[in-house]
Structure 1
Amino acid sequence: MRITGYRTLMTVHRWGRPIGDINGSVVSGVTVVPIVLVETDVGLTGVGLGSRDGLEAVFPAIVGEDPRAVTALYDRMLAAVFKAGHAGAVFGAIGALDMAIWDLKAKAADLPLWRMLGARDRVVPAYASGLDGPLEDDELLQLHTTFADRGFRAAKLKGGLDLAGDLRRLRLVHEVYEAASASPRLMLDANEGWSRKEAIAYIQRLEEQVDLAWIEEPVRRWDADGHAQISRAVRAAVATGENLTGLEQFRPLVQAGAVDVVQTGSMWGITHFLRVSALAHAFDLLVSPVAYNGNPLAHAAAAVPNHIATEVQDLAAPVGITVDQEFADGSIVLGDQPGLGLTVDETAIAAVAEKADWGKANGPHVRPDAAGKRLLVPEPHDFAPPSAR
């Protein structure tokens, strides 16, 4: 079996609600989902979800190769961009191809990926999320009631701008899950929106009234000293790592004792998650994949010993993608379909007409000017100097 080529598709995910975080929002609730299809000379096609930018730079490293050598091909892709670097979109392209190649490897073995990776159980512990920053209280309650009805007992909220609002929202969501569990767990995600001192002051004031399992991305992703300082100052565990691109970027955080729950972004691929998990395990740290459409890392999470829970942001799948999984008892229950269990309906995708984007100026993927500058006022950019008025 040899890799012969690739194709890309673009579909959308219809969230059915506004989504966003401390950095911005997508009011339409419609976002793009890139798909990479890796083709072979035996008719098998691997499905990867993630960036399609940078594919042309790394695909030559794997064309003509046997996809069953997936970890070696991952290293070939990294080597192909040795001089230019593998951060950002290029790492996303490597991750999408890596995901598709793992899908091929498992399909060739006629096994679901979780089974091929050595997992004993198809049930993957999970927690509820929802990119809920822009939701009103009633919308927030409706969202988490849906999760609670599926047995979820832990939830993560977006926050970091409004202390009183965050406290109110955390209490509301706690009540939803408390109705079914004596000890629901809550997390708060600040998406790198604070400076070190902002983070410590904010979290300490939250912890006067609520109990947090972890605080996520309190400061910039690379700030090992800052994360360590925050971890020493608060009760909650510190979780971070979803935006780090490469195993080497985790080393300073781990060595500094700056992270308690090591996270990886799902769109960075299967091999990346497995290697980060092994690094974390060597330091007795837990791992938790951050969600992406279809929860593809759940297969790998089922096979590592230090996985605590996988984030689930939505119970639906993107348009034209069917996922062989269910949600029950607060877990992702993986199916028996070979590979990642992703089925792509190209006819349905071709009919998609909506425009969607993460990268708009007021969206969650664009860092606002005020981020990390809120020691004195909530939104510094709202206050223009007298000469500009």
Structure 2
Amino acid sequence: MKVTGYRSRTTAHDWGRLIGDANGVMPDTRTDVPVLILETDSGLEGVGLGAHPDVERVFHAIDGADPRSAPALYDRMLNQVFKTGHAGATFGTIGAIDMALWDLKAKAADEPLWRTIGAADRFVPGYASGLDIALDDDALGRLYERFAERGFDAAKLKGGHDVERDRRRLEAIRAILGRNSPRPALMFDANEAWNRTQAVRFVTALERTVDLTWIEEPVRRWDAAGLASVRRGVRAGVATGENLTGLEQYRPLLDADAVDVVQVGSVWGITHFLRTAAVAHGRDLPVSPVAYHANPLAHAAAAVPNHLACEIQDFSWPIGLAVDQEIADGGIVLGDLPGLGIRVDERRLEAAPALTGPPAVAGPHVRPGRAGLRLVPER
């Protein structure tokens, strides 16, 4: 079997709510979902999700190759771009291709990817995460009621502007999830919005009444000294890693003893997750995938010994994608369809016009001008 070509498509996901974080809110309830389809001479096709703007350049590294060599092809893609660097959009492209290669590898074996990688159990523990900073208190409660109905006893709140507002919302979520556990796990995500002093002040204020499991990305992703300082100053664990684009970027954070929970972004692919999980396991640290549409890393998470919990953001799928998994019992129940279990209806994708317009000037992917510079967090 050889890779012979690719098709790039875009669909949309309708969240039914505005989503965002401390940096801003998306302007629409729908967001684009890029879809990459790898073609082979056998007729099998592999699906990868995530932005892949450099696909034309990176594809040459796998053109004509056997997709069952996915880890070796991952290294070949990295090698092809080593002079210009693999971070950012290029790393996302490599991740989408890698995801599609693993999908093909499992389809060639006629088994779900979780079995190909070596998992013994199709259930993957998760935690609820509503990307919820834009919701008022009533809407927040309704959202987490839905998560509670599906058995969740852990949740992560977006925040970082107003400590009393965040305290009230964390306590409300704790009460809702209390039906499933006497001590629900509560996490808090500041999305790199603070400096280290802000982070310690804000989190210690929350911890007067809320037992936080972890604080996520309290300072900039690469700030090993800052993350270590926060870790020493609060009771909660420190979680980070979703925006690190390359295994080597974890090294200074791990060497500084700055991380309690090693996170991995889903859009960076299967191979990156497996390698990061192995490095974390070597330091007795848990690994936790950050969510993306169709939860592709859940298959790999099921197979690693140090998986903690997958972030789960929604119960529905993007337009034109059917996904063989169920959100139940506080996690993900993976199905038996070969590969990632993602079926693509390209006719429906064509009927779902992309939302992409001019570059955003504000929102969760644009860093605000005063982020990390205020002495006291405020709106």
TM-score, normalised relative to structure 2: 0.98
Question: Equivalent residue of 1:138, what SS?
Answer: helix
Matches within 5 A, 1:19-30: 19-30=19-30
Indicate the larger mover: 353-362 or 42-51.
353-362
- 1:378 Cα shift? 2.4
* Counterpart position of 2:174: 174
Q: For residue 57 of structure 1, what is the amino acid of its counterpart?
A: R
Q: For residue 363 of structure 1, what is the amino acid of its counterpart?
A: G
List gaps (5 residues or longer) in structure 2. Answer: none
Contact 1:190/1:216, CA 8 A, preserved across alignment: yes
* Counterpart position of 2:14: 14
* Counterpart position of 2:329: 329
Measure, in 2, the Cα distance between the counterparts of 1:312 and 1:359.
27
- 1:358 Cα shift? 11
Matches within 5 A, 1:340-351: 340-351=340-351
Contact 1:32/1:358, CA 8 A, preserved across alignment: no
Measure, in 1, the Cα distance between the counterparts of 2:354 and 2:84.
35
Measure, in 2, the Cα distance between the counterparts of 1:333 and 1:31.
25
CA pair 307-376 structure 1, distance change in 2 beyond 3 A = closer
* Counterpart position of 1:87: 87
Contact 2:240/2:261, CA 8 A, preserved across alignment: yes
Measure, in 2, the Cα distance between the counterparts of 1:162 and 1:376.
10
Asked if 1:46 is matched to 2:46, the reply is yes
* Counterpart position of 1:194: 194
Question: Equivalent residue of 2:177, what SS?
Answer: helix
CA pair 120-357 structure 1, distance change in 2 beyond 3 A = farther
Q: For residue 253 of structure 2, what is the amino acid of its counterpart?
A: L
Q: Percent identity?
A: 61
Question: Equivalent residue of 2:212, what SS?
Answer: coil
Contact 1:358/1:364, CA 8 A, preserved across alignment: no
* Counterpart position of 1:370: 370
Measure, in 1, the Cα distance between the counterparts of 2:234 and 2:152.
26
Q: For residue 202 of structure 1, what is the amino acid of its counterpart?
A: F
* Counterpart position of 1:269: 269
Question: Equivalent residue of 1:250, what SS?
Answer: helix
- 1:26 Cα shift? 1.4
- 1:54 Cα shift? 0.9
- 1:377 Cα shift? 6.3
Q: Give the RMSD, CA atoms, in angstroms.
A: 1.1
Measure, in 2, the Cα distance between the counterparts of 1:277 and 1:326.
24
Asked if 1:132 is matched to 2:132, the reply is yes
Matches within 5 A, 1:372-387: 372-376=372-376, 378=378
Question: Equivalent residue of 1:213, what SS?
Answer: strand
Contact 1:71/1:271, CA 8 A, preserved across alignment: yes
Measure, in 2, the Cα distance between the counterparts of 1:260 and 1:9.
37
Question: Equivalent residue of 2:292, what SS?
Answer: coil
1:142-192 deviation per Cα after TM superposition (whole angstroms, max 9, x unaligned): 110001100011000001011010001001111110123211110000000
Measure, in 2, the Cα distance between the counterparts of 1:80 and 1:354.
30
Contact 1:239/1:263, CA 8 A, preserved across alignment: yes
* Counterpart position of 1:207: 207
Measure, in 2, the Cα distance between the counterparts of 1:180 and 1:263.
25
Q: For residue 123 of structure 1, what is the amino acid of its counterpart?
A: F
- 1:204 Cα shift? 0.7
Measure, in 2, the Cα distance between the counterparts of 1:347 and 1:58.
27
Contact 2:94/2:269, CA 8 A, preserved across alignment: yes
Matches within 5 A, 1:220-235: 220-235=220-235
Q: For residue 120 of structure 1, what is the amino acid of its counterpart?
A: A
- 1:52 Cα shift? 1.7
Measure, in 1, the Cα distance between the counterparts of 2:174 and 2:354.
35
Contact 2:198/2:376, CA 8 A, preserved across alignment: no
Measure, in 2, the Cα distance between the counterparts of 1:25 and 1:278.
34
Contact 2:22/2:158, CA 8 A, preserved across alignment: yes
Measure, in 2, the Cα distance between the counterparts of 1:151 and 1:221.
32
Q: For residue 361 of structure 1, what is the amino acid of its counterpart?
A: V
* Structure 1 runs (4+) greater than 3 angstroms displaced: 356-359
- 1:363 Cα shift? 1.3
TM-score, normalised relative to structure 1: 0.96
